[in-house]
Structure 1
């Protein structure tokens, strides 16, 4: 190792793994989770900031939804370059940079967060928070390289779950601030995160490593972009992760706008859904391992449609209790779906390799190569679903004063995801299904 660069890395070699490789990988995983966790908190920071923006700020509900939409949009776009930054700069080096960049939106929010600031300024600062959304892509790419194939599911699941929990944590901190200091002191929340960001960057500098063998494969990215399954899975991931992040941003604002909750009342409920959705994500992967990702994803979409129907009913009847039950159920189901859809991706490309006549390590290498590249694209497109959700809420509240119309559109989308999953991956499936080169696949085991 020289300058925190590891020149040789072979986690598939059991002797190498037991002789020190596992210890190094776990150490890097720990501090990757820390950085990604704070990245998610900063990405969703404005879901909390809008709760502090009372009448003196002069921003209506539609304007607040547009603010959180800006952060969602930038975070989704940032995932593409962040995916390839690890190989270009090194996992440790890029974690230091990406963690340090979180200071920009946090300090900027600290400076401008007061009545009298122009809406344009708020919009620019909210957009800056989007850099936190990119951390997921680079963190997952980095940790994927450290672990052997037999350990990737556990490592990536822990990495993703630990990052996702950054959403309810920032909301809980916001609740603590509102409950103790009141809804007029947003800078306290920001002051908590500024030193945490510095700690994450320092930990990455002192305790993480770069892997020299990791190199960008532009050919893999090109091949993944040309494969129709990358875009089919992107569509399905919009429905799961896009829903999770979109609802995480919007939940508190919906409670305030549609049900007249105070900032404290909204904050006391906002964190519950994202927390449960984050914790249950590994369960979705476990169920997919046992029963097939396509099957779990299919019935998960059916359940999401049912939960959305409950939310629509509650919205029309103006029943907060029923609304909370349906909405929190939606969060849990988005978490399950996140796990099952991500489980499908490597299985799809592995089966494509077998269909091409490959076998053994050659098929596994082909699957890893394309699924790794596809995950970056799928993650970026999936995050755009959060933007669509927030824009739908904005339009719904602007035109009708409630979120009912938005929920109806989400119900239609989940029905489309259900139909697509069945048509592409389950129609005519058999236990010994194979993948063909045609868009219509009969594959139920991914």
Structure 2
């Protein structure tokens, strides 16, 4: 079915609103990574301290995605999405006026995690506006809102070169306020705001926890999506430390990597709709593993090429995994999106912390990147075993 025909089969303004929500929220979520170089300079931070500032929003987002997924299923995705935007606005205003030392910056970074919860509401809003046959493409398009990674990595260092980083928070607060208004206009009120039955929701959660496929999808998403956001967060610092690039050029190259990974994500879902998610992952994961090992190549040109390849493969894999989420958990997509998305945030937290901490101890990012590649090898092994034994049953099957 042609892509335009698929888009016309549902309510495209809801898809646009979901995409906008996720795009701006991604900008807020990765703000600390985009500002890592001026933050490290202004606050006189060590490698380990900077790594924690970069990673804390990713961990906070991981935890809050589960809560947002619950709220999307029970209270309504639209209402939950508006709460998230208002919370982002409040945190950014605090960053503008109230963050002056490392301890406050840590708390601010953790609170930015609320933006990472957007995934658990944006995808249900988009998915419920379209028929089941369009889920892979539609969820991929909505999730391509992670292009916010590109925008923040490109623009934040440029703003910080002329403004104090506190004022960058003020600019972002204005953007979030405008987004809130557009979201209200694009996404209609839900006819049924949710299940309104906590017992029913907890039964669904218990069923999800008992299903072994949920754990597996969490692991796969921790490698693909977690690798993507973690890599994009740490790349400006890595390029600055290893190749002595200034903040603007480092941010531009990191943004280029994020652009490739963001734009290719819908095609991951599109291919998975037609070829099968597991078979597609079988070919994508080795590319991630090989490319991430070579990121710190002595050749700068080769290193940049491998960064782009890694981000692109991870972005493609993101779309594939969420096609599997929609296929296996169609009745609890908000809950499943929250749980699986949380695992992605944890994977994203692991990469910058491991790379930054080990770099502080050894002077090199290599070992931290190799550790993450080891997780990719484990994920690839599970996919190979599943293909040999046939795919796990979908949710609700015995």
TM-score by length of 1: 0.80
Say yes or no: does 1:426 pair with 2:382: no
Say yes or no: does 1:376 pair with 2:338: yes
Distance 1:71 1:373, change over 3 A: closer
Cα displacement string for residues 292-328 of structure 1 (whole angstroms, at most 9, x for unaligned residues): 211111121111111123225x1xx3x3222111111
Report the equivalent of 1:47: 33
Gaps of 5+ in 2: 1-6
C-alpha contact 1:145 1:214 (8 A) present in aligned 2: no
Say yes or no: does 1:287 pair with 2:271: yes
* 1:31, distance to aligned residue in structure 2 (A): 2.1
Cα displacement string for residues 258-312 of structure 1 (whole angstroms, at most 9, x for unaligned residues): 2222212212212011111000001112222232211111121111111123225
In 1, the alpha carbon distance for the partners of 2:25 and 2:301 equals 32
In 1, the alpha carbon distance for the partners of 2:232 and 2:29 equals 11
C-alpha contact 2:63 2:342 (8 A) present in aligned 1: yes
RMSD value over aligned CA atoms?
A: 2.5
* 1:150, distance to aligned residue in structure 2 (A): 2.8
Report the equivalent of 1:359: none
Say yes or no: does 1:69 pair with 2:55: yes
Matches for 1:219-238 after TM superposition, within 5 Å: 219-238=203-222
In 1, the alpha carbon distance for the partners of 2:21 and 2:320 equals 25
In 2, the alpha carbon distance for the partners of 1:169 and 1:55 equals 22
Report the equivalent of 1:30: 16
Cα displacement string for residues 220-248 of structure 1 (whole angstroms, at most 9, x for unaligned residues): 22101111110011111111001011111
Report the equivalent of 1:321: 301
Distance 1:91 1:230, change over 3 A: closer
Cα displacement string for residues 163-217 of structure 1 (whole angstroms, at most 9, x for unaligned residues): 20111111121243256x2xx6324433322222111222233443232335344
Report the equivalent of 1:404: 366
Say yes or no: does 1:159 pair with 2:145: no
* 1:35, distance to aligned residue in structure 2 (A): 1.9
C-alpha contact 1:90 1:211 (8 A) present in aligned 2: yes
C-alpha contact 2:51 2:357 (8 A) present in aligned 1: no
Report the equivalent of 1:144: 127
C-alpha contact 2:149 2:258 (8 A) present in aligned 1: yes
* 1:94, distance to aligned residue in structure 2 (A): 2.4
Say yes or no: does 1:416 pair with 2:393: no
- Helix, strand or coil: the match of 1:271? helix
Distance 1:434 1:122, change over 3 A: closer
Say yes or no: does 1:83 pair with 2:69: yes
* 1:128, distance to aligned residue in structure 2 (A): 1.1
Residue 158 of structure 2, aligned match among 169, 176, 179 = 176
Gaps of 5+ in 1: 1-16, 350-366, 442-446
Matches for 1:250-329 after TM superposition, within 5 Å: 250-311=234-295, 314=297, 317=298, 319-329=299-309
Say yes or no: does 1:128 pair with 2:111: yes
Q: How many residues align?
A: 385
In 1, the alpha carbon distance for the partners of 2:394 and 2:113 equals 39
Cα displacement string for residues 148-169 of structure 1 (whole angstroms, at most 9, x for unaligned residues): 22333333222111x2011111
In 2, the alpha carbon distance for the partners of 1:340 and 1:32 equals 19
Distance 1:344 1:204, change over 3 A: closer
C-alpha contact 1:71 1:130 (8 A) present in aligned 2: yes
Structure with bigger RCO (C-alpha 8 Å, 6+ apart)? 2
Residue 186 of structure 1, aligned match among 157, 162, 165 = 165
98-107 vs 46-55, which moves further? 46-55
C-alpha contact 1:137 1:376 (8 A) present in aligned 2: yes
C-alpha contact 1:93 1:205 (8 A) present in aligned 2: no
* 1:85, distance to aligned residue in structure 2 (A): 1.6
Report the equivalent of 2:190: 211
> In proportion to residue count, which structure has more helix?
2
Report the equivalent of 2:3: none
* 1:434, distance to aligned residue in structure 2 (A): 8.2
Say yes or no: does 1:202 pair with 2:181: yes
In 2, the alpha carbon distance for the partners of 1:250 and 1:141 equals 29
Cα displacement string for residues 60-80 of structure 1 (whole angstroms, at most 9, x for unaligned residues): 222111111111110111101
Residue 324 of structure 2, aligned match among 324, 341, 344 = 344
286-295 vs 209-218, which moves further? 209-218
* 1:339, distance to aligned residue in structure 2 (A): 1.3
